[in-house]
Amino acid sequence: MAPIVTIRRTFGRFWPHTRGTRLLFALGVVCAMAAAACEVASIWLFGVITDRVLATQDLNAFWGPAIAWLAFAVVAGLVSFGGQYATALGGERFLLGLRDRLYAHLQTLTPDFFDNRKLGDLMARLTDDIEAIEELVGSGLVKLITTLISVVFFAGAAFYIRWDLALVTLALVPAFLFASKVFASRFRYAAARERSSNGRMNSVIEEGLANQPLVQAYNRQETEAERLHVEGRTWLRTKMAQAKLAAMYTPSVQIIETLCLLTVIGFGAWEISAGRLTIGGLLSFAAYLAYLYPAVQSIGEIALTVSEAAAGSDRVIEVLETRPMVTDAPAPVGTPPACRGEVEFRNVTFTYPGRETPTLRDLSFTVGPGELLVCTGPSGAGKSTVAKLLLRFYDPGSGQVLLDGVDVRELPLRALRDRITVLQQESLLFSGTVKENIAYGRPDATMEEIVEAAVLADAHDFIGKLPQGYDTPVGQRGRLLSGGQRQRLAIARAMLRDAPVLVLDEPMTGLDPDTAARIMTPLRRLMAGRTTIMIAHDLSLVPENATRIDLAPEPTALAPK
Ligand code: ADP
Tell me which residues have their CB closer than 6 angstroms to ligand 1: 112, 115, 352, 355, 359, 377, 379-385, 554
Query: Residue 556 has what pLDDT?
Result: 46
Quick one: DSSP state of residue 477?
A: G
Pocket perturbation via mutation, ligand 1, pick of 360, 384, 391 by most ligand atoms within 8 A of CB = 384
d(CA 289, CA 278): 17
Q: Which residue stretches of the chain have pLDDT < 70? A: 1-6, 300, 303-304, 307-308, 331-337, 425-427, 510, 538-544, 552-561
C-alpha 196 – ligand 1 centre gap (Å): 29
My answer on whether 289 and 204 are in the same domain is yes
My answer on whether 74 and 199 are in the same domain is yes
Query: Residue 2 has what pLDDT?
Result: 37
My answer on whether 273 and 348 are in the same domain is no
- Specify the pairing of strand 420-423 against strand 501-505: parallel
My answer on whether 81 and 219 are in the same domain is yes
My answer on whether 300 and 355 are in the same domain is no
Could you tell me if residue 333 is inside a domain?
no
Burial profile 108-120: b = 16 or more Cβ within 10 angstroms, e = fewer: ebeebbeeebbeb
Could you tell me if residue 332 is inside a domain?
no
The number of distinct structural domains making up the chain is 2
Paired residues of 25 in beta bridges:
none
Q: CB within 8 A of 107, min separation 6: which ones?
A: none
Could you tell me if residue 106 is inside a domain?
yes
Query: Residue 561 has what pLDDT?
Result: 36
Neighbours of 185 (CB within 10 A): 12
Query: Residue 426 has what pLDDT?
Result: 67
pTM of the predicted protein model: 0.75
d(CA 269, CA 282): 8
C-alpha 409 – ligand 1 centre gap (Å): 22
CATH number, domain containing residue 416: 3.40.50.300
Residue of minimum CA distance from atom 11 in ligand 1: 380
Reduced to 3 states, what is the DSSP secondary structure of residue 363? Answer: strand
Reduced to 3 states, what is the DSSP secondary structure of residue 445? Answer: coil
Task: Specify whether the CB–CB gap between 313 and 129 falls below 8 A.
Answer: yes
Query: Residue 558 has what pLDDT?
Result: 41
Last residue of a domain, one of 270, 286, 320: 320
The gap from C-alpha 261 to its chain's centroid, in whole angstroms, comes to 46
C-alpha 537 – ligand 1 centre gap (Å): 15
d(CA 219, CA 208): 12
The gap from C-alpha 2 to its chain's centroid, in whole angstroms, comes to 18
Closest CA to 382 of 358, 347, 409, 416: 358
The gap from C-alpha 88 to its chain's centroid, in whole angstroms, comes to 19
Could you tell me if residue 59 is inside a domain?
yes
Could you tell me if residue 72 is inside a domain?
yes
Quick one: DSSP state of residue 335?
A: P
Paired residues of 310 in beta bridges:
none
C-alpha 119 – ligand 1 centre gap (Å): 20
Could you tell me if residue 328 is inside a domain?
no
Write down the H helix ranges in 6-62: 7-14, 22-49
End-to-end CA distance of the chain, in Å? 31
Q: HSE on the CB side for 413, CA within 13 Å?
A: 15
Query: Residue 541 has what pLDDT?
Result: 64
CATH number, domain containing residue 233: 1.20.1560.10
My answer on whether 314 and 398 are in the same domain is no
Could you tell me if residue 533 is inside a domain?
yes
My answer on whether 229 and 361 are in the same domain is no
Task: Specify whether the CB–CB gap between 180 and 67 falls below 8 A.
Answer: no
My answer on whether 101 and 136 are in the same domain is yes
Q: Which amino acid is it at 147? A: T
d(CA 437, CA 429): 6
CA 378 to ligand 1: nearest atom: 3
Could you tell me if residue 530 is inside a domain?
yes
Query: Residue 1 has what pLDDT?
Result: 34
d(CA 374, CA 487): 19
Last residue of a domain, one of 320, 351, 370: 320
My answer on whether 490 and 429 are in the same domain is yes
Reduced to 3 states, what is the DSSP secondary structure of residue 433? Answer: strand
My answer on whether 314 and 361 are in the same domain is no
C-alpha 554 – ligand 1 centre gap (Å): 10
My answer on whether 306 and 427 are in the same domain is no
Q: Which amino acid is it at 276? A: R
Quick one: DSSP state of residue 346?
A: E
Query: Residue 336 has what pLDDT?
Result: 60
Query: Residue 214 has what pLDDT?
Result: 79
Task: Specify whether the CB–CB gap between 160 and 120 falls below 8 A.
Answer: no
For residue 194, give the H/E element and its range. helix 173-210
My answer on whether 416 and 498 are in the same domain is yes
Q: Which amino acid is it at 196? A: S
Q: Domain containing 381: what range?
A: 343-557
Pocket perturbation via mutation, ligand 1, pick of 113, 325, 359, 360 by most ligand atoms within 8 A of CB = 359
